[in-house]
Chains A and B, each alone.
Chain A
Amino acid sequence: MNRFIAFVKKEFLHIFRDYRTMLILFIMPIAQILIFGFAITTEIKDASIAILDKSKDEVTRELTQKLLSSGYFNNDAYLTSESQIEPAFNDQRVKMVVVFEPEFGRNLQKEGTANVQLVCDASDPNQARMLSQFAEGIFASYASQGVVKGIQPEVRMFYNESLEGVYMSIPGIMAMILMLVSAMMTSISITREKEYGSMEVLLISPLKPLQIIMGKVTPYVMMALINAVSILALGYFVFGVPVKGSIILLLMECLLFTILALSLGILISTVAKNQMVAMFMSMFALMLPVILLSGFIFPVENMPLPLRIISNIIPPKWFIIIVKTIMLKGGGLLYVWKETLILIGFVVLFVTLSVKKFKIRLQ
Chain B
Amino acid sequence: MIEFKNIHKSFEDVHAVDDVSLRIEEGELFGFIGPDGAGKTTLFRMLNSLLIPDEGQINLFGLDPVKEYKKVRQIIGYMPGKFSLYYDLSIEENLQFFATVFGTTIEENYHLIEDIYKQIEPFKKRPAGKLSGGMKQKLALSCALIHKPRLLLLDEPTTGVDAVSRREFWEMLQKLKEKGITIVVSTPYMDEAGLCDRVALMQNGKIHAVAPPSEIVSQFSDPLYTIKVKNNYKSLQALRQWEFCENVYPFGETLHYLDKRNNVSADVIEAYLSSQQLTFDKVEMIQPDIEDCFIALTHNVG
Contacts and interface: CB of A to CB of B under 8 A. Distances in A.
In the complex, is A directly touching B at CB under 8 Å?
Answer: yes
Interface of A: 2-3, 5-7, 9-10, 13-14, 17-18, 196-198, 200-207, 360-363
The 6 closest A-B pairs by CB, nearest first: A197-B82, A6-B100, A17-B88, A204-B73, A198-B84, A201-B84
Contacts of A9: 97
10 contacts: A3-B100, A6-B97, A200-B84, A201-B78, A205-B73, A205-B98, A206-B74, A206-B103, A361-B69, A362-B50
Contacts of B11: 363
Given A3-B101, A3-B103, A362-B51, A204 B85 contact: no
A77 B98 CA distance: 75
Nearest to A363: B51
B50 A204 contact: yes
B52 A361 contact: yes
Contacts of A18: 88
A204 B48 CA distance: 7
B49 interface: yes
Contact of B101 (A6, A196, A200, A360): A6
B96 interface: yes
Given A10-B97, A17-B88, A206 B73 contact: yes
Given A13-B88, A18-B88, A201-B78, A7 B101 contact: yes
Contact of A360 (B69, B81, B144): B69
B82 A196 contact: yes
Contact of B80 (A5, A197, A363): A197
A3 B74 CA distance: 14
B126 interface: no
Contacts of A6: 96-97, 100-101
Nearest to B79: A201
A196 B87 contact: yes
Nearest to B82: A197
A10 B93 contact: yes
Contacts of B48: 204
Contacts of A204: 48-50, 73, 76, 78
Given A3-B103, A204-B49, A204-B76, 14 more contacts: A2-B100, A10-B86, A197-B81, A198-B85, A200-B45, A200-B80, A200-B84, A201-B84, A205-B73, A205-B101, A206-B70, A361-B50, A361-B52, A362-B45
Contact of B84 (A13, A17, A197, A360): A197
A361 B100 contact: no
A360 B81 CA distance: 19
B95 to A, nearest CB: 12
